[in-house]
Amino acid sequence: MKKDDKKKKDDIAQELKNSFMHNRKYSLAKDIYTATESDNYRSMAMVIRDRLIDGWILTQQRYHDENCKRVYYLSLEFLPGRLLGNNILNLDLEQESNRAMEELGLSLDVLCNQEKDPGLGNGGLGRLAACFMDSMATLGIPAMGYGIRYDYGIFKQKISEGYQVEVPDEWLKLGNPWEFERPEYTIKVRFYGMTVKRTDRDGKPYVEWVNARDVLAVAYDTPIPGFKNSIVNNLRLWSAGSTEEFDFEYFNDGDYIKACENKILSENISRVLYPSDSVYKGLELRLKQEYFFTSASIQDIIRRFKMHNDDFKSFPDKVAIQLNDTHPAVAIVEFMRILVDEEGLDWDAAWEITGRTFAYTNHTIMPEALESWPVSLFGKLLPRHMELIYEINMRFLKDVSKHYPHDLGRIGRMSLIEESGEKKIRMSHLCIVGSHSVNGVSGLHTDLLKQTLFKDFFDFYPEKFNSKTNGITPRRWLKKANPRLSRLITDTIGGSDWIRNLSELKKLVPFASDAAFIDAWRKVKTENKENLTRYIKNQNGLTVDPGSMFDVQVKRIHEYKRQMLFAFYLIAQYAKLKADPKAEIVPRTAIFAGKAAPGYVIAKTIIKFINNVADVINKDPDIKGKLKVVFLENYGVSLAERIFPASDLSEQISTAGKEASGTGNMKFMLNGAVTIGTWDGANIEIAEEVGPENIFIFGKRAEEASDMTAKGYDPKGYINKDPFLKEVFSLIQEEFFSQFEPGIFKVLYENLYRKDPYLICADFSEYLAAQEAVSGAYADTAGWMKKSILNTANSGKFSSDRTVSEYAKEIWGIS
Ligand code: F58
């Protein structure tokens, strides 16, 4: 290091220390004797927050002065992860912060772990939104995220006697140093009421929405810094409040409780995140949440637009709005309502502006996850929006029937209103009709959208459809989560450009055959595994061997993700070892983590099943040193950061055609884990990047799988053919894993033995063979390390910087 640089770093470390002491004393009124670890975390968070402010103000001023085109990312979910470490990293203050804390006798790591991980999302979709926020700031895209500031995020998962128990996540209890309340941007959102037709002075008819109930949306802003570029974007989350502290009418009548009711009901809107990851439930409060944050965001966006622009015609040149799935779909209607009812634009002009502004991302083709709101509920809550949807639909279907006269089947299928049974609004159709872009999140997923779910729409508007393969931010998922590997990479390829340009990792390819490098790579992996080993010991009281293969499946628990397939493999291995205790096997530690939706009985039973299987295997002395099974509780961003760097094998074994993309698969790859997976979602693209020798692919392909299900498939044929599979079913039926609670796994057994909707039995034999191939490959340590290195080296495509650049260029019109 040059002398000047060293001096600069010394000065910064000193400033950080001073600022830390100042904040601890004057913001928290604490000293060295009274400060808790949490106080020290908060003091350091304030130090770093202060360092974000100048960049934040300057960035926003610049966007304002340049009146540049802005991107708004509307998402009901954001999973940003802990911010202290990440913000230090993006501000390039890692060394100085570590030094400052050390000199104060503190550990930055310990402080960082004090932070509550904001769980404002369920899984992939929410985490993708957070990766995009990081990439948009890093690429200097004038972007803003909009969502809800839930008082309670996704529940905390405890495992008790093998069962999932949900505990409320009180993430705001000790305050949140990263957010800034902005009461001055409070926005009124209306619900209920009715519409009346009126004519203005010129005789022009218009509609008024009257007798509505008001709720207030209060803005909370969180700065989102780019990586080492002084740019700081904004994440604006809305919290609900009531218009009056009390309803005075009731208050005066002496009904105190009734007087508080309105306040309580209003505030409930942002109380809690719905913890369902792929089953849609038509609950009124959920629709209120969707409209609440959407309306507040659209009003805010229009207010900002009007500060610099007076003609709505230029709106699409100044604003791009990306809808993260259909949850904010009502934004399209809210925007039309404002343009037509409040701004007085005529329908055609408003509709054209709307279509050019909005873009929609789909994240699933699973029918049970598609949102469709009963017309009765929607019309009661949002009477004007219901009318507008009918108008949009009428005009749209007129267009369709011009192209396909007399094709009533097609018109019925494409309608925004589902007419069979209870009338419902198909939110995805609304999004497609009201947007200029519809994208899937991987190549296969987009193809399936075009060929199946949205086929009629693809026929009608082929130009709207496009694919944007997901990505992950290398800042959090490599630089921060895996500091050892990051250092090794930087030292090896001679620089840290890869953090901003992930394809630089390709430079590792020549080192994949270099013995010294292979050894260094193995050492890093082993140290990371030792770390996780300690965590497992701490959490589960279980000793695992860091020398064993860490075989990992971490994600939401869902039938289509097939945690049961992995569990079946482990049971088959167990049975094999019991039958032949001398059988040679490659020692493995199987690691599971993931939450089940509280109302999803099968998923919750799967968790109990895995834990019981783990108990039997881990306690059996015959199996010692050969197989261990671990279920880590409370999977989330923070736990994920510990797991990926320590993984050898990544389980990506969904039924082909069901996982839209997956992003965990990319995090494993980036950290040098090898994938065993089906030909599904982004696994396909991972295989293309890394080459067939460095990935283990098995199982039915999407088309075959859907054909089998359509034709009516019987798992029994497969069960009888495969002796291991047969043995697995016998063990479950004999209550081998439920001796003390007989009958608890009947629901799993019956479901898989009779229906097996996700083809676990059909894929089992091939999966077993693929696992055998994995064991063979792992036994050759240098060969495995080569695969591991090549996985990291070829993961450049999966940077969210690449994904976001594609959105910017091809959808948002931002260079
Ligand atoms: C996920 N969807 C996909 N939904 O399952 C995954 O393949 C993809 O990689 C990821 O999106 C990002 O594109 C997902 O996470 C949800 O969590 C929704 C939450 C709200 C209810 C409906 C599902």
> What percent helix, strand, coil does the chain show, rounded to 5?
55, 15, 30
**pLDDT the model gives residue 655:** 98
Q: Closest by alpha carbon to 301, among 290, 287, 289, 312?
A: 312
51, 658, 667, 797: the catalytic one is: 667
Cα 277 to averaged position of ligand 1 atoms, centre (Å):
7
Is the CB of residue 636 below 6 angstroms from any atom belonging to ligand 1?
A: no
Is the CB of residue 469 below 6 angstroms from any atom belonging to ligand 1?
A: no
Query: Which residue's CA is minimally distant from atom 14 of ligand 1?
Result: 125
Pocket-testing residue among 278, 561, 683, 684, ligand 1, by greatest number of atoms within 8 A of Cβ: 278
**pLDDT the model gives residue 368:** 85
Mean pLDDT of 689-710: 98
Pocket-testing residue among 78, 128, 360, 364, ligand 1, by greatest number of atoms within 8 A of Cβ: 364
Cα 364 to averaged position of ligand 1 atoms, centre (Å):
7
The DSSP 8-state label assigned to residue 120 in this structure reads B
Q: Is 267 exposed, middle or buried (0-12, 13-18, 19+ CB in 10 A)?
A: middle
Cα 125 to averaged position of ligand 1 atoms, centre (Å):
4
Q: Closest by alpha carbon to 375, among 396, 390, 360?
A: 390
Cα 767 to averaged position of ligand 1 atoms, centre (Å):
25
Backbone angles phi, psi at 609, to 5 degrees: -60, -50
What are 778-790's pLDDT values in tens digits? Answer: 999 999 999 999 9
Q: Report the atom number in ligand 1 closest to the C-alpha of 127.
A: 12
Query: Which residue's CA is minimally distant from atom 20 of ligand 1?
Result: 277
The structure tokens listed for 452 are 């199946």
Is the CB of residue 681 below 6 angstroms from any atom belonging to ligand 1?
A: yes
What are 35-64's pLDDT values in tens digits? Answer: 999 999 999 999 999 999 999 999 999 999
Pocket-testing residue among 322, 323, 363, 438, ligand 1, by greatest number of atoms within 8 A of Cβ: 363
Token pair 């997923």 is found at 445
Is the CB of residue 278 below 6 angstroms from any atom belonging to ligand 1?
A: yes
Mean pLDDT of 410-417: 98
Is the CB of residue 671 below 6 angstroms from any atom belonging to ligand 1?
A: no
Note if 445 is an active site residue.
Answer: no
Note if 604 is an active site residue.
Answer: no
Interatomic CA distance for residues 572 and 629, integer angstroms: 13
82, 304, 555, 595: the catalytic one is: 555
What are 254-303's pLDDT values in tens digits? Answer: 677 776 777 788 889 999 999 986 666 769 999 999 999 999 999 999 99
Interatomic CA distance for residues 699 and 431, integer angstroms: 34
pTM score: 0.98
Contact 207, 387 (CB under 8 A): yes
Is the CB of residue 326 below 6 angstroms from any atom belonging to ligand 1?
A: no
Q: Closest by alpha carbon to 263, among 238, 281, 249, 245?
A: 245
**pLDDT the model gives residue 264:** 82
Contact 521, 788 (CB under 8 A): yes
Cα 798 to averaged position of ligand 1 atoms, centre (Å):
17
What are 421-479's pLDDT values in tens digits? Answer: 999 999 999 999 999 999 999 999 999 999 999 999 999 999 999 999 999 999 999 99
Note if 555 is an active site residue.
Answer: yes
Q: Closest by alpha carbon to 248, among 260, 233, 240?
A: 260
Q: Say yes or no to pLDDT of 246 above 60.
A: no
294, 589, 663, 792: the catalytic one is: 663
